Amino acid sequence: MGWSTAERIVVRGKDLPGEILGHLNLGDMAFFELTGRVPDAKESKLFNAMVVTLVEHGVTPSALAARLTYLGAPEAMQAAVAAGLCGLGSVFVGSTEGVAKMLSESSAEEILQKYKRVPGLGHPLHKPVDPRTRRLFEIARETGFYGKYCRAMEEIAKSKGLTLNATGAIGALACELGLDWRAVRGLGVMARAVGLVGHLLEESRQPMAEEVWLRIEEEASRHLKP
């Protein structure tokens, strides 16, 4: 994806110091990595908003796993971030991929017929409207990317009587931007890597992992002791 000589560093055909540093923000660089082209201002606004949505979700299982890992190996923060990422699978975060794949293969009508459980719908707390979806679709309209995939998801959500949640919105918007569905889980993975670094810095200052561990261990073994 890149090459270097003594004087030059080139990433995907662009000069890193001259054409990228100071010109692309981190979200733009991610877009560039995934598509091979620099986003225009509208793409940049929408794509950054999508990824930023996924950075911080508070004390998730992923954040707890990272903090508990850091407790045992504070000298290897990268491994604590890695531990936190390992759980971004089919249950959490990975559903954006499911939405993007589904929309890239089927119409709303076909989806309603084929899928018993449509990914990207429903939320335990945010109902009837997920405020992130409302805001992301607002940005999509502003930037001209509110299109057929967004409409399809809204139609499906209405028909099912369920909230169109943020992962559903982001899956649809990834399709609007022409991203490959195989990269879509990666949006959540990179976003959470950012958020997990934040959690680990907080853990180094205001630790919570040790207290959590000792309490849960005590609870789990109490009934076993003589």
- Bridge partner list, 164: 121
Edge to edge, what strands does the sheet with 9-11 contain?
A: 2-4, 9-11, 14-15
68 neighbors 60 (Cβ within 8 angstroms): no
Q: Is 42 in the site for its own copies (CB under 8 A)?
A: no
Closer CB to its own copies, residue 74 or residue 144? 74
Residue 146: which of 155, 136, 156 has the closest Cα?
A: 136
Closer CB to its own copies, residue 112 or residue 197? 197
Footprint (CB under 8 A) of its own copies, residues 107-136 = 125-127, 131-132, 134-136
To the nearest 10 degrees (0 to 180), the angle between helices 184-205 and 95-105 is 170
Footprint (CB under 8 A) of its own copies, residues 171-190 = 180, 182-183, 185-187, 189-190
Give min distance, CB of 106 to its own copies, in A. 20
Q: Is 57 in the site for its own copies (CB under 8 A)?
A: yes
Contacts of 166 (CB under 8 A, 6+ apart): 53, 54, 130, 132, 133, 136
Rounded Cα gap, residues 207 and 69, in angstroms:
12
189 neighbors 92 (Cβ within 8 angstroms): no
Give min distance, CB of 215 to its own copies, in A. 9
Q: Which of 4, 109, 110, 151 binds its own copies (CB under 8 A)?
A: 4
Rounded Cα gap, residues 121 and 158, in angstroms:
10
Give min distance, CB of 175 to its own copies, in A. 15
Q: Is 29 in the site for its own copies (CB under 8 A)?
A: yes
Q: Is 155 in the site for its own copies (CB under 8 A)?
A: no
- Three-state secondary-structure class, residue 69: helix
Rounded Cα gap, residues 176 and 60, in angstroms:
29
Q: Which of 56, 106, 115, 162 binds its own copies (CB under 8 A)?
A: 56
Residue 147: which of 119, 182, 112, 175 has the closest Cα?
A: 175
Closer CB to its own copies, residue 94 or residue 147? 94
Q: Which of 43, 81, 120, 165 binds its own copies (CB under 8 A)?
A: 81
Q: Which of 17, 105, 110, 159 binds its own copies (CB under 8 A)?
A: 17
Which tokens is 180 given? Answer: 């490959």
Closer CB to its own copies, residue 131 or residue 161? 131
Q: Which of 37, 78, 110, 148 binds its own copies (CB under 8 A)?
A: 78
Give min distance, CB of 152 to its own copies, in A. 22
